[in-house]
Structure 1
Amino acid sequence: MDLETQAQIYLADQRGISQVGFFRSFHTFNFGHYFHESRTPFVNLQVFNDDTLKAGHRLKLKLEKNSEVIIIPIVGGLEFHNSLETGFLEVGQVQIFSALAATEYEIINPYETEEINFLQIWLNNDSVDFTSKIEVNAFDFEDKNTMLPIFSKNSQRGFIGKYDGRKKEEFTFEKSENDIFFFVLSGAFEVQDRLLHTRDGLSLSNFKMIDFEALSNDAIILMFELVLQPQ
């Protein structure tokens, strides 16, 4: 059966924003008081926030649903506190926190003068055997021009890659009914003939093959393979 391919670009300068004196968050999807009909969740990708926290402050969040909470430091390390663990997460690490509905967790900026920037990504998980757990994975950008795995859970996978200008990548998927989300952390890429700049996102559905090309040096991109209801 042929499935209709679909694509949507989420431009960085059209994201929602929440801001108080010590904290700023850009929302690729609807979050908190921000709502736009074009920014509904993509498959089970519920939240994709680009957060900046000032020195010495902390952020507390509470989940409404069972979720895989993925935290990726971008600038500066961060301290975290949740029901399972307290620790420190640094650039080059990714935390995957499987958290039950109503779980609270904190992110703390431990520095005296420096802001930190990090991504918070929530994937809903409706599987019947969902349990609370935590893991931390690492990646190394010394290994350039390839997609590095950062998580794999319930048939879902995440990757990050740092590329030289004009380097290309191609993916072929086993199934046509796939859902893929890209997010450019820095630089520029052409993904499936669509131009993306820093902090732009792109959702793709039902593409059997996907290719992209870095258009600037040291460009960084994230890719997520998603499923609607993990089993």
Structure 2
Amino acid sequence: METTNPIKTNIQKKFYPASERGHVNFGWLDSHHSFSFGHWYHPDKTNFGALRVLNDDIVEPSMGFGTHPHQNMEIISIPLFGELAHKDSTGTNGIIKTGDVQIMSAGSGIQHSEFNHSSDRKVNFLQIWILPKVANIQPRYDQKTFPEAGRLNRFQTVVSPIDEEAVWINQDAYFSLATLEPGKTLSYKVHAPNQGVYVFLIQGKISTEGTTLERRDAVGLWGVDEYQIQADVKSELLVIEIPMK
């Protein structure tokens, strides 16, 4: 549900209901696409600023994505539950667990694979692609663990081009996680002009700038420099700030 914001007259919004996401199920992979991807295309959902892909992937035990190439894309993986086994042409070979955030700068070219590390449990992770700021950089990989306590009723920056506590990204983009208790409100201030924010609700129910979001809904906001987010119930969310141009 959307309403007109009476104070922030310059604010612009685009609502992305969970029910309108693309959906593919290949048996081993059950995936919902917020933006056009692979076998699913929607002309009005090709990107939000520099945000190009947000896939909500569930992978069956011991299954996954075989070795495949990428170029000039910032690729972020955030496990929601379960573990991923990752291997790439930079020599990285490791496990991405719930609580970790992984980023891979494909740059001039990289090959990688990702599989469910478990033989008996599914894995659910967000796969996010951001268009890079500089093309053809040397491919790189980074991964860090972020404790849940660091995001309770506050924003925890997990991806940033300037914050040394976060994983680095080749773009003026910032990812923040938050877990809000019922009734709590957070204010998100953008880092620079011409930046927008994409608020993705992992679970719960929140209201932001006149729009109510429920599980897996999202809203894109731009035009002003600060946004309010309030939780109606205990909620987990991801805020992605990216250049709009």
| CA distance in structure 2 between the partners assigned to 1:81 and 1:132 by the alignment | 14
Contact preservation (8 Å) 2:68, 2:113:
no
1:65-214 equivalences under 5 Å are: 65-84=71-90, 85-100=92-107, 103-128=110-135, 130-143=137-150, 144-153=152-161, 154-173=171-190, 175-214=192-231
Contact preservation (8 Å) 2:107, 2:136:
no
Q: CA RMSD in A?
A: 1.9
The more displaced of 133-142 and 80-89 is 133-142
| CA distance in structure 1 between the partners assigned to 2:56 and 2:37 by the alignment | 12
Taking structure 2 as the reference length, the TM-score comes to 0.86
1:59 aligns with 2:65: yes
| CA distance in structure 1 between the partners assigned to 2:32 and 2:67 by the alignment | 15
Secondary structure of residue in 1 paired with 2:149: coil
Cα drift, residue 64 of structure 1: 5.4
Secondary structure of residue in 2 paired with 1:207: coil
Contact preservation (8 Å) 1:63, 1:101:
no
Cα drift, residue 63 of structure 1: 5.3
Contact preservation (8 Å) 1:69, 1:122:
yes
| CA distance in structure 1 between the partners assigned to 2:197 and 2:39 by the alignment | 26
Secondary structure of residue in 2 paired with 1:142: helix
1:212-231 equivalences under 5 Å are: 212-217=229-234, 219-227=235-243
| CA distance in structure 2 between the partners assigned to 1:77 and 1:71 by the alignment | 11
Percent pairwise identity: 24
Contact preservation (8 Å) 1:25, 1:49:
yes
1:6-54 per-position Cα deviation (integer Å, ceiling 9, x unaligned): 2111111110012111111100000012111221211111110000000
Unaligned runs of 5+ in 2: 1-8, 162-170
Contact preservation (8 Å) 2:84, 2:123:
yes
Contact preservation (8 Å) 1:67, 1:123:
yes
Taking structure 1 as the reference length, the TM-score comes to 0.91
Q: Which amino acid aligns with 2:173?
A: Q
Q: Which amino acid aligns with 1:213?
A: Q
| CA distance in structure 2 between the partners assigned to 1:107 and 1:180 by the alignment | 28
1:76-119 per-position Cα deviation (integer Å, ceiling 9, x unaligned): 11111111211001111100111136533211112121111000
Secondary structure of residue in 1 paired with 2:19: helix
